[in-house]
Structure 1
Amino acid sequence: MEIFMYGETEKNHLRFSDETMNRLIGSLGHVERAVEPDIFKALVSSIISQQISTKAAETVKERLSQKAGEISAESISGLSFDELRSCGLSGRKTEYILGAARASIERKIDFNALHSMEDQEVIDTLVSLKGVGVWTAEMMLIFSLQRPNVFSYLDLGIRRGIMRAYGLKELSKTDFELLRSKLTPYCTVASLYFWKLAGMDNWESVLYQEEWI
């Protein structure tokens, strides 16, 4: 399993830029998140996971892997609509995945070329695919391309983590953008910590420790 790569340079920048980030990093240590370098495979996984539980998504992915073998545009295109549906996919998600595969095979989108594009260009390219929105494209930037400065206002987990970290009852887009400017150029790394905090049951203990590393 590959993980998102970052180190002391990024953490030190965030710790010196913001006292709350200093506390989070000091308390949580090094947060790891898995990545999928194959962006087509990552995109298929993301489409599968939309609006269903993690457990259900894993079941569908396992069934798809059994039918298709290694997930690629070619292997997906080799399956019929009904074969894909039999993996547990909805009709709409089946259309989205087949559409992404066709876009790759017909060279409408060169997924390998995304690695050399700027962040906004990647987003613009991916959202041209049916079923792919800005949030999905932003997640591809993070969990496949490992871009260091992605900060998604559309992500509920990130917003929840920020509100917990800073003691906010709501988070305006203006305040979000102010925080973005403070945490740039390592907003992605900050996001890993906000996600971690958002998913913790004992999150208050993280914020109110008496001593920080």
Structure 2
Amino acid sequence: MQQFTSDNFQLLCNELAEREPVFKVILQQHSYPPMWTRPASFATLIHIILEQQVSLASARAAFNKLKEKTGTITPAKLLLLSDEELKACYFSRQKTVYARHLAEAFISKKIQLNKLTASHDDHVRGVLKQVKGIGDWTADVYLLFALQRTDIFPIGDLAMVNALKEVKKLPVHTTKEDMLLLADAWRPYRSIAAMMLWHHYIKSRNIKF
């Protein structure tokens, strides 16, 4: 599967900027985005679950609290924690359920991340989405940041969608289907497009994290 790496990341940004004027403007205004990546691990999936529908800062606070509590975040250590202990790590009731389901899927070997490293994007999505609480957005973020796949476009991500509407001057009520059609022109590098849109969103709002 095609991946972005530190060797090709800026080249892919340049290629997209040649194809799409809004990306050229983003590069001119904000330079290259950071090459955001995460380990392909259970802990990363927990972190992404924590990021669902909350700010990155809130999710990081919960993730760091869990790390303080467990040392290394593993399925077995997470399952040893009571609901009260997870609540003290800022887990909502719903995310406690999701985290336990994920840990159980690892322990039962329903999910074996090492077997997903070379799998097709759709297969990775299918395996991850067997777990309660993992939908398209969570699977897409894992594919993009942990597996560094080049052609992921997480249309469920509000910040990315808002950035896309801004830079392309789209009507507020533009549908996800229309945005996906628009992004088809950026295949097979839609992951790079997503990162450039996030970069624009963060820089234009002066967000610190």
Instruction: Tell me the TM-score range normalised by the shorter chain.
Output: 0.7 to 0.9
Distance 1:60 1:12, change over 3 A: closer
CA distance in 1, matches of 2:193, 2:143: 15
Give 1:172's aligned residue: 175
Q: Which residue of 2 aligns with 1:185?
A: 188
Identity %: 28
* Map 1:120-139 → 2, pairs under 5 A: 120-139=122-141
CA distance in 2, matches of 1:202, 1:85: 31
- How many angstroms does 1:4 deviate by? 6.7
- 1:151 maps to which residue? 153
Unaligned runs of 5+ in 2: none
Q: Give the CA deviation at 1:51.
A: 3.1
The match for 1:85 among 66, 87, 99 is 87
Runs of 4+ in 1 over 6 A off after TM superposition: none
Q: Tell me if structure 2 keeps the 8 A contact 1:39–1:140.
A: no
Task: Quickly say closer, same or farther: Cα 1:152–1:202, change in 2 above 3 A.
Answer: closer
Q: Give the partner amino acid of 2:191.
A: T
Distance 1:138 1:169, change over 3 A: same
* C-alpha RMSD of matched pairs (Å): 2.2
Q: Determine if contact 1:126/1:137 at 8 Å carries over to the other structure.
A: yes
Q: Is the 8 A contact 1:4 1:143 kept in 2?
A: no
Q: Which amino acid aligns with 1:25?
A: L
Residue 119 (structure 1) shift: 0.8
- Relative to structure 1, is the Cα distance of residues 23 and 145 closer, same or farther in structure 2, using a 3 angstrom cutoff? same
CA shift at 1:56, angstroms? 2.9
| Rounded Cα–Cα distance in structure 2 between residues aligned with 1:24 and 1:55 | 24
Rounded to whole Å, the distance in 1 between the matches of 2:63 and 2:78 is 12
Gaps of 5+ in 1: 204-213
Matched ranges for 1:190-205 at <5 A:
190-201=193-204
Structure 2: distance between partners of 1:13 and 1:51: 32
